[in-house]
Amino acid sequence: MRRKDAELRSRKSGRAQGAHERIRSVVRLIPEGRVVTYGQVAEIAGGVTPRMVGYAMASLRPSSGVPWHRVVNASGEISLPSGAGAEEQRAMLESEGIVFDEKGRIDLEKFRWSGPGASSS
């Protein structure tokens, strides 16, 4: 019984790794000065949920080379809790020319990236 449980965990872990790599591959495509939502990433990556995208972004390290800061929620807001992480993400986005309104939201009509094959402007 234990061996079956270990095999099942291993398969699930492998699927999660594959999903995380698909998610990271999509996020690497987001051009500077553009953002996407968790839902968009999930749709492009296929077979994942926005929550899985959040988990994948949370597991990244700053040295990963993946522009995690360009992923925002469906309202155009930073989803990190207030504090250093949220401030860092906002600063990184602002340094790329992304503007926040007085409520801390990004105009998705202006700054959203449409996905692979879309121009960055």
pLDDT at 89: 92
Q: Token pair for residue 62?
A: 């700053």
Cβ atoms within 10 Å of 71's Cβ, excluding its own: 25
| Tally of domains in the chain | 1
pLDDT at 120: 54
Instruction: Give the span between the Cα atoms of 121 and 104, in whole angstroms.
Output: 22
pLDDT at 3: 58
50 located within any domain = yes
The CATH number of whichever domain residue 100 belongs to comes to 1.10.10.10
116 located within any domain = no
121 located within any domain = no
Q: Which amino acid is at 105?
A: R
Task: Look up the domain containing 83 and give its range.
Answer: 2-111
> From residue 101, how far is each of 20, 55, 94, 108, 117 by CA, in Å?
31, 27, 12, 11, 28
pLDDT at 84: 72
Mean pLDDT by 10 residues, the chain (121 residues): 50 63 95 96 94 91 88 94 84 97 96 79 51
pLDDT at 63: 81
Residue 111 · residue 34 · CB < 8 Å:
yes
7 located within any domain = yes
